[in-house]
Every structure is written in structure tokens, then in C-alpha cells.
Amino acid sequence: MRTVSQNSANVFAVSGPVVTAERMAGSAMYELVRVGYYELVGVTVGDPVLRTGKPLSVELGPGIMGSIFDGIQRPLKDINELTQSILYPKGN
């Protein structure tokens, strides 16, 4: 997976399943980052955090798109047909 930058972002704190990182200037809300390798077992303070520059996303299987809604209950399928994207334009 490509990373955006090799900045010095690292793990600042670990509390159960929650990992807090520092030096994440320029990162976006809900940006996918890589921390550790498989599970959070063994993630410690100081471990590197790699930014991907990609939004957190999920690949949907056939037939699921019609039963997924955005935050105000608009069907994702309708948004996709209207905009040819899963993203709804700002201001609509």
C-alpha cells in the first residue's frame, strides 16, 4: 500500500482498541492509516504511523448497495445513480 509521506508520525498512546497518534499534520478526518501489522496486540508508544491519503472505505458485495444509507437516511444507491459516485456533492 502506498503511503503519502514518510513523516515522523508515531503512536502517542494506546488504551485498549484506541490508538492515539502524534505529528499527524495534514491528515484528513477518517483517513486510512497503517499502525502495526495485523492486530493491535504489541502496538506500543513510538511505533510508526503511516498515512495512505485514502478515505476509510468498505467494498460492498452485490445487492448490498440498496440497503445502505448515508447519515440522513438517503439510500446510497440513489446517490450513486444521481452523481455516478458514492459521494454526495457539497450543499445538496
Residue 2: what pLDDT? 53
Element (H, E) at 10: strand 10-15
- Helix ranges (DSSP H) in the chain: 76-83
Residue 87: what pLDDT? 67
Spell out, as residue ranges, where the chain has pLDDT lower than 50: none
Residues 6+ apart with CB under 8 A from 40: 14, 17, 19
Rg (CA), the chain: 17
Residue 60: what pLDDT? 72
Q: Is the pTM of this model over 0.85?
A: no
3-state helix, strand, coil in the chain (%, to 5): 10, 30, 60
